[in-house]
Amino acid sequence: MGGNGRFWAVWGGMAAGAVVVGGAAYRPLPPVTAHYRADIHTEYVKFPSGRDTITAYLAYPERKDPAPVVVVIHEIFGMSDFIRQTTEQLAKDGFVAIAPDLLSRRGGTPPSPDDARKLIAGLDPDTVTKDLDATLAYVKRIKAARGDRVGVIGFCWGGGQSFRYATNNPSLGAFVVCYGAGPDALSIARIRAKGLGVYAENDARINAGLADVDAAIRTYHKSYRYTVYPGVGHGFLRAREKPAVADSAWKAVVGFFRESLEH
């Protein structure tokens, strides 16, 4: 896949001022600024959600026509280098990608991943939906984006939120769940978008719910296919304990988005 090698090389790096937990780097959002690179443009943006303001990381591809949109939902650690770099890679793969900091209402993602985890655990699910709606409303106004071709992807906690958001927003064209918990069967019945699941063999906690998800998908005739990747654990796209497996999963994600949103 074009650009894939650069993506994984960036993920292996660590920014100055980052906090390291379990081999991964995290840091709070820097001041709003814009950056230009040879193949993408990135910037921090702010937009309203009710009476509050959401900060998000936005990345544009270099292409002559408006691009489909992918919203990136972060892990339980909040906004991190991993999420920013995922957003950048989606732009390199041809999408307008935007990652909202869903802790914006709480002052933004804190430096400590443990503090972020505690804050996210206290978020109201309906408020998360409102902030994702606000993110879509913002990005749909961007002339370089195709507001009628929108997908969402989430990781870990964000994977569960991606699945949940697909049950609440009928305008989505595609959603990807990366090792996230599934919603209840009646919620799955509301889904209109096509879905893709990325799961890990060594992730019994999340995989315990797959049978129920599969049964609901079949009962309500929804389009959701998933793969349980061998020999890896929860968070393997970030941890990359088996790079070839992570690369294969990412190639499937990009292919799914192109298939669902480009055509």
At 67-102, the pLDDT tens digits run 999 999 999 999 999 999 999 999 999 999 999 999
Mean pLDDT of 210-233: 98
Going by pLDDT thresholds of 50, 70 and 90, the confidence category of residue 39 is: confident
pTM for the model stands at 0.86
pLDDT, tens digit, for every residue of 115-146?
Answer: 999 999 999 999 999 999 999 999 999 999 99
Mean pLDDT of 25-49: 66
Mean pLDDT of 185-205: 98
What pLDDT is attached to residue 179?
Answer: 98
Query: Which among 155, 122, 151 is positioned nearest to 135, based on CA atoms?
Result: 151
Separation CA 128–CA 124 (nearest Å):
6
Q: Is the pLDDT of residue 20 over 70?
A: no
Residues linked to residue 70 through DSSP beta bridges, in sequence order: 97, 151
What pLDDT is attached to residue 38?
Answer: 54
Mean pLDDT of 151-158: 98
What pLDDT is attached to residue 263?
Answer: 76
